[in-house]
Amino acid sequence: MLAKHEHAVEVRRQAIQAALDSSKSAAERNRLGQFATPYALAVEIARYVESIAGNRLRAIRFADPAIGAGSFYSAALEVFGLARIESAIGVEIDTAFCDAARDLWASFGLEVVQGDFTRLVASSGWSAAPNLILTNPPYVRHHHIDRKEKERLQSLAYQMAGVNVNGLAGLYVYFLLLATTWMEDGGYAAWLVPSEFMDVNYGIALKRYLTNRVTLIRVHRFDPHDLQFNDALVSSVVLVFQKTPPHAEHRVEFTFGGGMLNPLASDSVTLEQLHDLRKWTVYPRHTRNDRRTSSAGNDVALGDLFRIQRGIATGNNRFFILERRDAERRGFPMHCLRPILPAPRFLKTTVIAADQDGYPCIEPQLCVIDCDLPEAVLRVQHPDLWEYLQTAETLGIKNGYLIGKRNPWYRQEQRDPAPFLCTYMGRGTEEKRPFRFIWNQSSAIATNLYLMLYPKGGLAWLLREHPEYCADVFALLEQVTGHELRGEGRTYGGGLHKIEPSELARISASAFTDKWPEIRSAVYRQWGLFDGVSRASDIEQPVPSDGLHAARR
């Protein structure tokens, strides 16, 4: 237990933390990855590390490369006691948090260094190597890291850790690799990080590092329905490892749900199993951990029958997407408009019929502004649309990242209408599917809230010869189970599920080939043409900004 004075400091820390958090907007904290670790969780993590390290951590040299207000140092004092802490260092880039941590914990032996840890750790004469790291690094998503900074981090990770980091990885991956390089051989570390790396292709490098370069002891994944952070939508995992190469027969304990000390489920997994495993979240096996991957294996998958692509990102849906009646009332030319589906929450049907103009038979009908006429021509030929577009300047819309890359700026990404679609995000447990398939008989395209499925190869030929088979295709898509969709997708806090094109592409299409065996032979011929080349379903697609964020400190 904390001494009376130390407990009073912890109470004060929590008040300061709350005040500093409230001083920033949710968007700013998302960009900076600033979300505090609850004290009780930090203590639980520290207790687990103490239980496995025991006498090997008699004298502690503590470090936290993202100290924040010091939740993990407070936990270290609670669990190990001040007498065992030989030295302690915390790094913090935010001036306000740095000052708070220094004020709170300097008298308890914590040295607080202000600065960017990824730059400090690379400098000569940097602080002595710690033997205990407890931390929750900043979860700054890759799209918040500019190109030059990302290149610096990638170069540094390769130089110091020998790891090539995928450009889609978040900042926490660099923190883990660099801090572990700094740490003393034989030391222990516990990292509270987002669980997304366990399932995605851009997490492969980190997974290899954890199984080949350190001895991974415990992987505890929290139940996504049990949010650990009141102000962040995140599915979290605690990684506990020792900085020493693993023995060949080493087994990793995977736990799920509950707490570190009383998990809901547990599995002991060999390194060999992990090396061959695409998605780590399938462990431990438990009904609450509904992460069964598709049984497709080397069989035909949806990606062999469909080209799967995200819908368009307009840059500002409220500005570019209007009701069709409103666009007509404003006098916008029809050739500068395309029919588009509403967001999934507003789409109440899964079979979309078309009117005589190709618009969906739903209300209201929507259209998206999509025009490739030069601005000078548009101004003369279509002044009503031109005047509307001029309001984008005062609204700040033209400053957007996507819009700034387009020429002209009001021209959208080009997509053909897809006959089949799948929603991109959703919720669902057990037999309830988190995503809906849609049969689109209209000329409408869709936003990036949908995945668009275009039949290809043998299936495309079959539908050209027998258009009436579209109903059968839709019925077969409807047979894809919730277990398959959740298993191939990824899970976020609160039970929110998301699926990318490459993940949907991996789901088994055996029901299609059972019904139409000729499709199977066509796919096998296609495989033969590209023997030795990765299948489309094995390629990871970039992850766009979606507002999901995770926890720091």
Cα separation of 219 and 206, whole Å?
A: 13
- Residue indicated by tokens 């990302």: 150
Q: Tell me which DSSP letter residue 431 carries.
A: T
213-216 contacts, C-beta under 8 A, 24 or more apart:
213/161, 213/180, 213/245, 214/180, 214/241, 214/242, 214/243, 214/244, 214/245, 214/246, 215/241, 215/242, 215/243, 215/244, 215/245, 215/246, 215/247, 215/250, 216/240, 216/241, 216/246, 216/252
Q: Residue 385 corresponds to which tokens in the numbers above?
A: 């649309």
Pairing state of beta strands 420-423 and 437-440?
Answer: antiparallel
* Per-residue pLDDT tens digits of the chain, which is 553 residues long: 566 667 889 999 999 988 988 776 666 655 555 567 899 999 999 999 999 998 899 999 999 999 999 999 999 999 999 999 999 999 999 999 999 999 999 999 999 999 999 999 998 778 889 999 999 999 888 888 989 999 999 999 999 999 999 999 999 999 999 999 999 999 999 999 998 899 888 899 999 999 999 999 999 998 776 655 444 445 789 999 999 999 999 999 999 988 899 999 999 999 999 987 888 988 887 666 555 555 545 578 999 999 999 999 999 999 999 999 999 999 999 999 999 999 999 999 999 999 999 999 999 999 999 999 999 999 999 999 999 999 998 888 888 888 888 999 999 999 999 999 999 988 877 667 889 999 999 999 999 999 999 999 899 999 999 999 999 999 999 999 888 888 788 777 667 888 999 889 989 898 999 999 888 777 766 655 544 444 444 433 333 333 333 333 3
What integer pLDDT is reported at residue 547 of this predicted model?
A: 32
What integer pLDDT is reported at residue 524 of this predicted model?
A: 67
What integer pLDDT is reported at residue 520 of this predicted model?
A: 79
Tell me the one-letter amino acid at 304: D
- Residue indicated by tokens 């039949």: 455
Closest to 57 (Cα-Cα) out of 70, 65, 66, 48: 48
What integer pLDDT is reported at residue 114 of this predicted model?
A: 96
**Cβ atoms of 302 and 513 closer than 8 Å:** no
What integer pLDDT is reported at residue 494 of this predicted model?
A: 65
What integer pLDDT is reported at residue 45 of this predicted model?
A: 96
What is the domain partition of the chain in residue ranges?
Answer: 4-282, 290-313+416-536, 315-412
What integer pLDDT is reported at residue 455 of this predicted model?
A: 96
Cα separation of 118 and 126, whole Å?
A: 12
Pairing state of beta strands 496-498 and 236-242?
Answer: unpaired
Q: Residue 309 corresponds to which tokens in the numbers above?
A: 């692509």
CATH class of 4-282: alpha beta
Residue 445, strand partner residues: 340
What integer pLDDT is reported at residue 199 of this predicted model?
A: 84
**Cβ atoms of 504 and 451 closer than 8 Å:** yes
**Cβ atoms of 240 and 210 closer than 8 Å:** no
